[in-house]
């Protein structure tokens, strides 16, 4: 059909020019007829080329549409396959998580240890689930502690795994983790050189020594009501915002070179042994109304004194011998 159109177009133009040459004298008539034939052939070639180009464009467009439909279909199938794989992976993660959680509830210590290591592997291979894994570790440590060598080993293992994955500059570091260890019993606890987003230690009990040297708490840390039975080291720690209200320190406390870019409140905290602070104490640290024994003024940085209680009954703390006063700023303290 296209070829016929091309031929007819060329013949029509050539015939019209041929007829027009009939009124001319020789040799102009012969030249005009030859030019008519040439023009007809040229027209046929031009129209043919135009039609060929149009057909090629239409063919290319049809091919592109077909390929586009194929790509869309392939993308849809790939997305469906990805969804299936994701659902399968999530199902497997849920199964592993549930199994590990069940193991933590076992009455056999080796089974509980296996549950801890299974959770660690789950967190290592699935970064999006690390906070969930950490939450389960913390939940285990918040459970009532029944003393015994086997349970002690399980808890120490849980603490070591947490601390290992919070160590800065290691390949196994888990960033942006928050810890909820409120009310937990923690044994010889350490977060030294660790980086944590925020930690809740409200009413936690630290049995034995506790070590936080050079750790970094980026957002908030709450030690309100915490109880430290042994020495505790906060040397060179970064404490963004911290509450130590009513915390009880039964051993030596070291805050040497600690940094307090936010605030640190010690209202109602009890210091049985001397506490080592930088001198002078940073302005963000509020020791007002912290409790310590009367007569220990020489244990505190310059500018702070121990005020005796206004009444004898207020100088007693249950379970602790001696007379207990209140830390306060010295009236003659000068500021530069």
DSSP 129: G
- What are phi and psi for residue 101, nearest 5 degrees? -65, -40
DSSP 276: E
The answer to whether 29 and 3 have CB atoms below 8 angstroms apart is: no
| pTM strictly above 0.75 | no
- What are phi and psi for residue 206, nearest 5 degrees? -100, 100
Q: Is the domain of 71 the same as that of 189?
A: no
Number of domains in the chain: 2
Could you tell me which residues come within 8 angstroms of residue 34 by beta carbon, excluding any fewer than 6 positions away?
Answer: none
Q: Pick the range with the lowest mean pLDDT from 153-167, 186-200, 250-264.
A: 250-264
Q: Is the domain of 73 the same as that of 170?
A: no
**Residue 13: per-residue pLDDT:** 57
Q: Which residue has the higher pLDDT, 74 or 299?
A: 299
Mean pLDDT of 36-40: 62
> Is position 234 within any domain?
yes
Q: 80, 107, 142: which is the final residue of a domain?
A: 80
CATH code for the domain in which residue 191 is found: 2.160.20
Q: How many CA atoms lie within 13 A of 90 on its CB side?
A: 7
**What digits encode the pLDDT tens for the residues 320-335?**
999 999 999 887 654 4
Q: 80, 97, 122: which is the final residue of a domain?
A: 80
DSSP 273: S
pLDDT above 90: residue 79: no
> Is position 124 within any domain?
no
Q: Is the domain of 74 the same as that of 180?
A: no
Helices and strands in the chain, H and E counts: 5, 19
**Residue 269: per-residue pLDDT:** 96
The answer to whether 187 and 152 have CB atoms below 8 angstroms apart is: yes
Instruction: For tokens 């070179």, name the residue.
Output: 257
Can you tell me the distance from the alpha carbon of 242 to that of 257, in angstroms, rounded to the nearest whole number? 16
Cis-peptide into 27, omega within 30 deg:
yes
Structure tokens at 30: 């012969």
> Is position 144 within any domain?
no
Closest-CA residue to 183 (of 149, 214, 145, 229): 145
> Is position 101 within any domain?
no
**3-class DSSP state of 287:** coil
Q: Which residue has the higher pLDDT, 159 or 312?
A: 159
Can you tell me the distance from the alpha carbon of 250 to that of 269, in angstroms, rounded to the nearest whole number? 11
> Is position 246 within any domain?
yes
Q: Pick the range with the lowest mean pLDDT from 56-70, 94-108, 227-241, 250-264.
A: 56-70
Which residues pair with residue 207 across a beta bridge? 187
Q: How many CA atoms lie within 13 A of 239 on its CB side?
A: 28
pLDDT above 80: residue 198: yes
Can you tell me the distance from the alpha carbon of 293 to that of 274, in angstroms, rounded to the nearest whole number? 10
**Residue 20: per-residue pLDDT:** 57
> Is position 149 within any domain?
no
**What digits encode the pLDDT tens for the residues 222-280?**
999 999 999 999 999 998 889 999 999 999 999 988 888 888 999 999 999 888 887 77
End-to-end CA distance of the chain: 102
Looking at the chain, the whole-number percentage of residues with pLDDT higher than 90 is 48
Give the residue numbers spanning the domain of 48: 2-80
- What are phi and psi for residue 256, nearest 5 degrees? -60, 130
Can you tell me the distance from the alpha carbon of 241 to that of 218, in angstroms, rounded to the nearest whole number? 8
Q: Is the domain of 70 the same as that of 170?
A: no
| C-beta atoms surrounding 177 within 10 Å | 21
DSSP characters for 78-124? HHHHHHHHHHHHHHHHHHHHHHHHHHHT-SSHHHHHHHHHHHHHHHH
Q: 65, 80, 95: which is the final residue of a domain?
A: 80
**Residue 336: per-residue pLDDT:** 44
Q: Pick the range with the lowest mean pLDDT from 30-39, 100-109, 181-190, 251-260.
A: 30-39
Structure tokens at 232: 């505790």
Q: Is the domain of 215 the same as that of 314?
A: yes
Strand (E) or helix (H) holding 13: helix 2-21
Structure tokens at 238: 């970064």
Q: Is the domain of 60 the same as that of 186?
A: no
Closest-CA residue to 175 (of 131, 132, 219): 131
> Is position 110 within any domain?
no
> Is position 264 within any domain?
yes
Cis-peptide into 280, omega within 30 deg:
yes
Q: Is the domain of 310 the same as that of 202?
A: yes
């Amino acid at each position: 059909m296209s070829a016929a159109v091309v031929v007819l177009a060329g013949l029509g133009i050539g015939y019209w020019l041929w007829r027009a040459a009939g009124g001319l004298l020789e040799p102009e008539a012969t030249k005009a007829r030859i030019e008519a034939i040439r023009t007809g052939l040229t027209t046929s070639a031009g129209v043919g080329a135009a039609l060929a180009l149009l057909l090629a464009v239409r063919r290319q467009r049809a091919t592109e549409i077909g390929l586009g439909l194929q790509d869309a279909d392939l993308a849809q199938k790939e997305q469906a396959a990805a969804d299936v794989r994701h659902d399968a992976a999530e199902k497997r993660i849920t199964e592993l998580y549930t199994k590990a959680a069940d193991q933590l509830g076992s009455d056999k210590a080796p089974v509980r240890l296996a549950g801890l290591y299974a959770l660690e592997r789950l967190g290592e291979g699935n970064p999006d689930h690390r906070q969930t894994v950490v939450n389960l570790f913390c939940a285990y440590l918040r459970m009532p502690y029944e003393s015994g060598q086997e349970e002690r080993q399980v808890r120490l293992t849980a603490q070591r795994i947490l601390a290992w994955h919070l160590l800065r500059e290691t390949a196994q570091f888990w960033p942006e983790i928050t810890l909820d260890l409120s009310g937990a019993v923690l044994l010889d606890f350490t977060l030294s050189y660790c980086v944590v987003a925020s930690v809740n230690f409200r009413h936690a009990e630290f049995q034995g020594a506790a070590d936080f040297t050079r750790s970094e708490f980026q957002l908030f840390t709450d030690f309100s009501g915490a109880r430290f039975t042994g020495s505790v080291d906060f040397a060179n720690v970064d404490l963004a915002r911290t509450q130590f209200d009513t915390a009880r320190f039964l051993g030596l406390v070291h805050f040497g070179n600690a940094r307090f870019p936010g605030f640190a409140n010690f209202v109602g905290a009890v210091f049985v042994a001397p506490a080592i602070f930088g001198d002078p104490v940073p302005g963000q640290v509020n020791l007002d109304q912290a409790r310590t024994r009367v007569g220990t003024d020489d244990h505190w940085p310059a500018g702070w004194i121990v005020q005796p209680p206004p009444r004898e009954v207020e100088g007693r703390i249950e379970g602790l011998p001696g007379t207990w006063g209140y830390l306060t700023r010295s009236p003659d303290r000068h500021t530069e």
